[in-house]
Amino acid sequence: MKRVTILSRLEKTGVVAVVRGATKEEALQASHAIIKGGMTGIELTFTVPQADEVIKELVAVYSKRADIVIGAGTVLDAVTARLAIMAGAEYIVSPSFDAQTAELCNLYQIPYLPGCMTITEVKEALKCGADIVKLFPGSAYGPSILSAFLAPMPQVSLMPTGGVNLENMADWFQAGAVTVGVGGDLLAPAAVGDFEKVTETARQYAAKLKEIKG
């Protein structure tokens, strides 16, 4: 089943890079730099100009590498989700839950990862078939919140995003995260054109993940 295979690959990435950029070129270069550093999960956000074109290009370049999973982020509605899926996105991430987007992703057998902040939102997302719930923004809580969510809903898979960094990544996994989303410190050098620094930081994340997962 397509969706199960994608989910398995997505969980194996461990760390998903949330890629933003002022231009299409910046986002493309940043994505290549991240993959060069050994990270294999890319969430290309729709705040990037011509985001669908960036996704299409990345999918074309890395289609022969099963370890690399390219998805779309900051997807606010079903129209954008379909645009992303047609471009080749293998999963859809939203900052909030949207029922129509969930239905569309179910239709195309694409994992949907909506952003949730409360138990009520998590419950609604699960009812509509969300596969992994993005705990967003993670910075509003901290790792200890995961046990509070998992106590009444042990069946939920959580991906904290926002506020996850090299220093606290192990704490998030220890608290029960299936994977994490990172962006800020990883992407900051891209804004000034320092893609070598992006690769170097990606290497640190890949090494830290290996250390955590053993």
Residues known to be catalytic: 43, 134
To 5 degrees, how large is the angle CA 84–CA 79–CA 191? Answer: 50
In eight-state DSSP terms, residue 161 is: B
> Measured between alpha carbons, how far is 39 from 122 in angstroms, rounded to an integer?
28
In eight-state DSSP terms, residue 133 is: E
Both tokens of 208, joined, read 């830290």
> Measured between alpha carbons, how far is 37 from 177 in angstroms, rounded to an integer?
22
